[in-house]
Structure formats: structure tokens, C-alpha cells
Amino acid sequence: MDARRSAGRFPRPGGEDGLTTDDRFHREEVQLANRNRGMPLEGLRYPVTPSGMHYLLVHFDIPHIDVRSWRLRIGGAVRLPLALTLDELKKRPVVTVPVTMECAGNGRALLEPRPVSQPWLVEAVSTAEWTGTPLRGLLDEAGLRNEAVEILFTGLDRGVQGDEVQHYQRSLSVAEARREEVLLAYAMNGRPLEPQHGFPLRLLVPGWYGMTSVKWLDRIDAVVEPFRGYQMTGTYRYSRSADDPGDPVTLMRVRALMIPPGIPDFRTRVRLVAAGAVTLAGRAWAGRAAVARVELSTDGGDTWSPCALDEPFSPHAWRGWTCEWNATPGRHALCVRATDSEGNVQPTAQYWTRQGMGNNMAQRVEVLVE
């Protein structure tokens, strides 16, 4: 079943351009939301997200892999191709580090018009303590040839996207792949990866959006031409029209989120808060940059006041923040926004791109104070 033969067989909800101006959602979007999962925002309370609360985005199906026959193959433009068992990988140098990961599509469902895909609001982010071995060491073992320009990562998950039958594949420049923080991870929060997080082995690229951290690794190949596969050229682009290729999606854009205060209404998730002093808290992160500032607005984004920042607990993880609020009776829209060390600040208006990538619009939480 090659790409050509599947072409056009799966009509896109939202029409060929995959966009909708309907504020109601397609069944296909709900189907994806029931499969994938965000982190309930009260999970922001934990510096390291409990494994089962970690957000999850799976393009195809979660593969079932027999680790006894599984090998990580490293090949392509290398002097010494490798085929390693999980036990052999565990004998390599071991690194454990907390890393915040966010889906590039986080915020997509807030866009208008809306790209029809996984309908994230703001909850597609989490932090886990990942354990693995640096990729660089294995690339050195294999010996990259001079003509290698990129490292291509191929997962064992397979399906159809953009009318192409494909294994999930993403590439990184040799320089990015050789950064010291890039890991081949086999454990999450002190336990072997569960199937949905990439068992037995996944790539982990701190600072980048999650699509880069390829799960269920099968092969790692040094390639002599930039990889042009669907997940590089057909999606994960900041394109603004059908004929705009757009820039590639790379590092996570600055964002802060708050733990919604008070208690929720089941259906609407609107918050009910008791009048008086409320300590608001949450987390903020910014790709490879530092979080410089977090600000709170209690009037829907008209005015902003500074929040206190906790000390960072990992160079690759989110940073806690807190802010005091005197809750007065009535309805309020609480907003939080962060600024990174390069001066990038979250917008209060949507950041619209055709695939709904990197929309880091400031979070808005509706509260009713009584």
C-alpha cells in the first residue's frame, strides 16, 4: 500500500484545506481528543508530572514491540553501522533529567478559522524525568561520515497522513542531534517507558516541541541530503496559506499556564472561587531560552502585574510562579503571560498559522467569585 494508492481515500473533515469557521467541532476532532490526552491543568501543581497524567499525542497507533527481538539500528552515512539491544543501550552512560515537553499544536482549538486536527486548548504540556543515554555518544560510536548533513529518526508507528502511507519520521541537523542534552530515553519517572510513551526507546530533544522526540525508535540514519518527508515538509510548518511552505516548527515558544483556582463546574469548567485572598500558581517555560517574567491580568488582559518566579529546578523544565490575588465578587477573566530571556512575550491575540502550530496566546480562565 504505497502513498499513491491511498491518495484521496480519506476525505478531510473541514474540506480540502482542513480549516473550519464553525465554532462547533467535527466528530473526527472529538475522536482524536478521546484518544490523545492533555494534562488536566491542576497537574501544573507537580514539578514532575505523574506519568499517567502526562499529555499524549500519537499520530497513528501505539505499536506493540517485543523487546526480545527489537534492535535499535544506526546506519546510513556512518563508518560502523550498529544494531543494539535495550540492555546494550543501558550499558552506555546514563543521564536522568527533568524535561518539559509541549505539543506544537497546543492552542490549536482556540484559533479562528480552526485547523481540523487534534483540538488542543492549552493542556498539551507536561514534565517528566527522563532517563537514557546521550545520542552523541552513539553517533560517535557509529562514526558519522563527513557527508552526513542530518540524522533521520524512524519510529515503528505507521499510518496514513496527508494521503501518504508512512512510518513516523523526523530529522535533525547533525549539530542539533549532537547537542549534549539530546537523549535516547528508555525510562520515564524512574520506570521503563509505557507503550504509549515510546517503549522500548524514544528520542528526547529538550527545548523542542514534542514532534521531534520520535517514539518507538526503529532506525537512526545519517543522511547526506536534508530529509523531505511528510512530517518535515507537509506538517509542523508555520505556514499562513496553502502556497506558503512556512518556516519549520522547532523550539517551544514561551508560555505560562495557571492552575485554575477554586472549584470547577463539571460541564463548563468555569471556576467558582470564594471571595478574599487567593494565591494563584502555575508554571512557565520557553524552549531553549529562560523565562524572564510572568505577569497576571485580572481584567482580561487590559492591565498586568508581575508574578514571583520560583528557582529553576532543571535547565530543561518549566519554572513555577505564584501571584496573590484579592478576589472580589463577580465574574473575572484571569490571564497569565510569560516573557522569555530573548524578549519574546506571549500575545493576547491568537497566533494564527494554517496548521495551528505554536499558538501561545495567553491563557484565559473564567472565574465566578462569590
Q: Check residue 176 for interaction with its own copies (CB under 8 A).
A: no
Q: CA-CA distance, 108 to 33, in Å (whole number)?
A: 12
Q: Check residue 26 for interaction with its own copies (CB under 8 A).
A: yes
Q: Check residue 263 for interaction with its own copies (CB under 8 A).
A: yes
In the window 74-133, what residues touch its own copies (CB under 8 A)?
Answer: 109, 116-117, 119-121, 123
Peptide bond into 119 cis (omega under 30): no
Collapsing DSSP to helix, strand or coil, 75 comes out as strand
Ramachandran sector of residue 120 (left: φ over 0; alpha: ψ -120 to 50; beta: rest): beta
CB of 96 to its own copies, least distance (A): 19
Q: Are strands 72-76 and 217-223 parallel, antiparallel or unpaired?
A: parallel
Q: Check residue 349 for interaction with its own copies (CB under 8 A).
A: no
Q: Is 287 within 8 Å of 276 (Cβ atoms)?
A: no
Q: Check residue 277 for interaction with its own copies (CB under 8 A).
A: no
Q: Check residue 350 for interaction with its own copies (CB under 8 A).
A: no
CB of 328 to its own copies, least distance (A): 15
DSSP 29: H
Count, residues near its own copies per rule CB under 8 A: 72
Q: CA-CA distance, 166 to 84, in Å (whole number)?
A: 24
Nearer to its own copies, 40 or 226 (CB): 40
Q: Which stretch binds its own copies (CB under 8 A): 20-28, 131-139, 211-219, 283-291?
A: 20-28
Q: CA-CA distance, 334 to 298, in Å (whole number)?
A: 5
In the window 242-261, what residues touch its own copies (CB under 8 A)?
Answer: 260
Nearer to its own copies, 45 or 79 (CB): 45
User: Side-chain half-sphere of 245: how many Cα atoms within 13 Å?
Assistant: 7
CB of 139 to its own copies, least distance (A): 30
Q: Check residue 177 for interaction with its own copies (CB under 8 A).
A: no
Q: Check residue 181 for interaction with its own copies (CB under 8 A).
A: no
| Residue of the chain from 95, 149, 165, 333 that contacts its own copies (CB under 8 A) | 165
Q: Are strands 271-273 and 363-369 parallel, antiparallel or unpaired?
A: parallel
Q: Check residue 40 for interaction with its own copies (CB under 8 A).
A: yes
Nearer to its own copies, 120 or 227 (CB): 120
- The string over 109-148, giving b where at least 16 C-beta atoms fall within 10 Å of a residue's C-beta and e elsewhere, is bbbeebbbbbbbebbbbbbbbbbbbbbbebbeebebeeeb
Nearer to its own copies, 12 or 178 (CB): 12
Q: Is the dihedral of CA 351, 355, 357, 363 positive or negative?
A: positive
Q: Check residue 364 for interaction with its own copies (CB under 8 A).
A: no
Collapsing DSSP to helix, strand or coil, 53 comes out as helix
CB of 104 to its own copies, least distance (A): 14
